[in-house]
């Protein structure tokens, strides 16, 4: 398989999002806002450390909000999410996992 190219023909190597560290993520949503592909979604972490859907009724049970992978296969490897992340909580790889 040949390397992808930019519009003007320069070689380009995608760097795919493969994981998000929930201990480092601050749930700011910046990565979600720059990604138009639905790769990530915001979830809540409860007191037991379990991921839960964000629901206005259950906000008192949520200890913190974190970004999680929603559709890893939709990632195109642009790293826009990494450029805006203030917590450096994402793991990228040139090989899609």
Torsion of CA 90, 63, 40, 28, to 10 degrees: -70
| The dihedral sign for the CA sequence 81, 13, 2, 18 | negative
Which residue's entry shows tokens 């974190």? 66
pLDDT in the model for residue 59:
64
Looking at residues 45-62, what average pLDDT do you find?
Answer: 80
| Continuous segment of H or E residues that includes residue 84 | helix 80-84
Q: Please name the residues in contact with 62: beta carbons below 8 A apart, sequence gap of 6 or more.
A: 44, 45, 46, 52, 54
Tens-digit pLDDT profile for residues 3-42: 688 889 999 899 999 999 999 999 999 999 999 999 999 9
82 by Cβ neighbours in 10 Å (0-12 / 13-18 / 19+) ranks as middle
pLDDT band at 84 (very low <50, low <70, confident <90, very high): very high
Rounded Cα distance between 48 and 65, Å, is 14
């Amino acid at each position: 398989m040949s390397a992808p190219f930019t519009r003007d023909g320069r070689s380009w190597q995608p760097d795919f999002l493969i994981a998000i560290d929930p201990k480092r993520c601050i749930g700011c949503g910046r990565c979600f806002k720059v990604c138009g592909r639905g790769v990530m979604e915001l979830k809540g972490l409860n007191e037991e450390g379990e991921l839960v859907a964000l629901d206005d009724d259950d906000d008192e049970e949520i200890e913190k909000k974190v970004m999680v992978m929603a559709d890893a296969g939709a990632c195109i490897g642009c790293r826009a999410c990494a450029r805006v992340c203030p917590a450096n909580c994402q793991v990228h790889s040139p090989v899609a996992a």
